[in-house]
Every structure is written in structure tokens, then in C-alpha cells.
Amino acid sequence: MHLIGVVTALRAEASCIVLARIPFDESVRINAHTLLWLSGMGASAASNAAKGLCRHGITALVSFGVAGALDPNLKPGDLVLPDAIYADQQWPVNLAWRDRLQQKLAMDVTVVNGVLANSAEPLTNEKTKQDLAQVTGACAVDMESGAIAAVAATACIPFIAVRAIIDPVQFSPPQALLSAVYPDGRVNPVRIMSLLLNRSVHLSTLIQMGAGMRAARKTLSRVIQLAGSEMASQIPDRLA
């Protein structure tokens, strides 16, 4: 049987897989066929996590979490199961595994395919999203999947990305907010209050971001509910 390594950047993403609080930046066994690594945000952290999971003997890798929309038709809660990852070059997704997973999902989960792009930093305005979409032809963006896909390709093991949209093209987290966010996605409440008082961030922005995260987490939790326990059995014995 396959042993799947799942990389999540944020605690909010990891909690869709397991409710218990897990340690940061180390491997945690979730069940007989799944290891989870909470890496923190960014390509370097994700790459280290994927390599760490490979050292623990995993035979497949999953990038699991949220993504920003580059396609104006995508909305918070939509699920992206990409065909490929664009991060300076195009990295493959195991399409046979991806397709089997997609078939397990209920009709109430909106699934889109296409290219998932990498960004070295959070995209904080509509213009940068539109520019990246034009260059890459991607429908969504995250900061970790490219690095995880590269590790999987080097190790010659299957890889898929499972990413729920958190923010639409028209809305992005403001640059000022990044100073209040820890690497695992938790926020510094004192810093948040300071940003609100200084009007660097508006309450309505935080409310919209919270709604987007709830929609994305609902979808990710649904994926685990419908297919999580059977994900290992869906991996083809041979790479597609």
C-alpha cells in the first residue's frame, strides 16, 4: 500500500485533515497510510517538508490547502484539482490519481482543472493576479505546490494538488496585513488591532477574508470526508 505525504502550509488547512493540534515543521502520522507535515508558508518551507516526508518513506505527495483565484469565474470554496503546476517551468500532476479522486467527490463540490501557478510572495492586488494569469495561463495561484511538485518529480513519485479557492480575483489580502501573520497562518491579535486602529486594514476586509477561509475549509473538509480514507487506494501502481 502507498504511504501518502501531505504538505499543508497553514494550521487552518491542517485542521481540515485532523482536529488535534499538530506540531509545526515535522512529520505527523495521521493513519496507516498518511503522514502530514505542517510546513509554514512559502516554497522553501514546502520543499523542506516534502523532502522530510520522502525521508520517512512516503510513496506519493499531496499539496493540500487554499489558493487564490486567477480566473474571474472562480469563487471562494471552489476546488482546484490542477492538470499541472507552473513554477518557472511546468511540473506534472499524476492525472490518473487526480481523476480518480475527482470522481469520488460529490456533485455539490465545484471542481475545476487547469494550471495552478506558483508565486514567490502573496499577491495583494487584482493587477498582479491578472498579470500572472496572462503569463502562465493559470486559473489559480499558491506559494507551495510548485516546490512540492518539484520534489515529487525528483523522487519519481506521484503528485497531486488539492486547493480550495480562498479569495477571488477582485479581492486580495492587503500588504499591510502580512506583518500580522505568522508562518503557519496564525495572526498576531495585538498587531491586528494596531492595523485596525491605524486604518491600515479595514474590518470589512477581515470579515471578507474570514468568509473566504470558511468557504475554502468547508470544501477541503468535504474532500477529506468523501475521499480521504480511500486516497491511498486511488493511486495508480504506475505513474501516468
Contact (CB, 8 A) for 226 and 212: no
DSSP 41: S
Full residue range of the structural domain in which residue 76 is found: 4-234
In the predicted structure, residue 230 carries a pLDDT above the cut 70: no
Mean pLDDT over 123-143 rounds to: 94
Mean pLDDT over 123-146 rounds to: 95
Is 154 inside a domain boundary? yes
- Could you tell me what percent of the chain has a pLDDT over 70? 95
3 state DSSP class of 68: strand
Mean pLDDT over 196-218 rounds to: 92
Among the residue ranges 22-36, 74-88, 129-143, 222-236, the one predicted with the least confidence is 222-236
Is 77 inside a domain boundary? yes
Is 160 inside a domain boundary? yes
Q: Which residues of 37-63 are buried (b: 16+ CB within 10 A; e: fewer)?
A: bbbbbbbebbbbbbbbbbeeebbbbbb
**How high does pLDDT run on average in the chain?**
91
**How many domains are there within the chain?**
1
In the predicted structure, residue 52 carries a pLDDT above the cut 50: yes
Mean pLDDT over 150-164 rounds to: 96
Is 240 inside a domain boundary? no
Q: Count the Cβ atoms, other than its own, within 10 Å of residue 32.
A: 8
Is 184 inside a domain boundary? yes
Angle formed by the axes of helices 145-155 and 43-55, to 10°? 30
Among the residue ranges 18-22, 37-41, 200-204, 225-229, the one predicted with the least confidence is 225-229
Contact (CB, 8 A) for 167 and 212: yes
In the predicted structure, residue 55 carries a pLDDT above the cut 70: yes
- Residue 94: name the closest of 107, 105, 103, 81 by CA: 81
> How does residue 239 score in pLDDT terms, banded at 50, 70 and 90?
very low
Q: Kindly report, residue by residue over 93-115, the tens digit of the pLDDT.
A: 999 999 999 988 877 789 999 99
Which pLDDT value is given to residue 236? 65
d(CA 186, CA 212): 16
The number of C-alpha atoms within 13 Å of 104 and in the hemisphere containing its C-beta is 21
CATH number for the domain spanning 97: value is 3.40.50.1580
DSSP 181: B
Which pLDDT value is given to residue 35? 95
3 state DSSP class of 163: strand
- Residue 192: name the closest of 207, 210, 180 by CA: 180
In the predicted structure, residue 232 carries a pLDDT above the cut 80: no
Is 239 inside a domain boundary? no
The residues, ordered by sequence, that sit 6+ positions from 30 with a Cβ below 8 Å of its Cβ are 6, 17, 18, 36
The grid cell for 36 is: 502530514
Contact (CB, 8 A) for 133 and 71: yes
Is 170 inside a domain boundary? yes
Mean pLDDT over 66-95 rounds to: 96
d(CA 116, CA 195): 32
Mean pLDDT over 83-93 rounds to: 94
pTM of the model: 0.92
Residue of higher predicted confidence among 38 and 184: 38
d(CA 35, CA 62): 10
Is 209 inside a domain boundary? yes
Beta strands in the chain (DSSP E): 4-8, 27-31, 34-38, 60-69, 79-80, 84-87, 89-92, 111-112, 115-118, 140-142, 159-167
In the predicted structure, residue 16 carries a pLDDT above the cut 70: yes
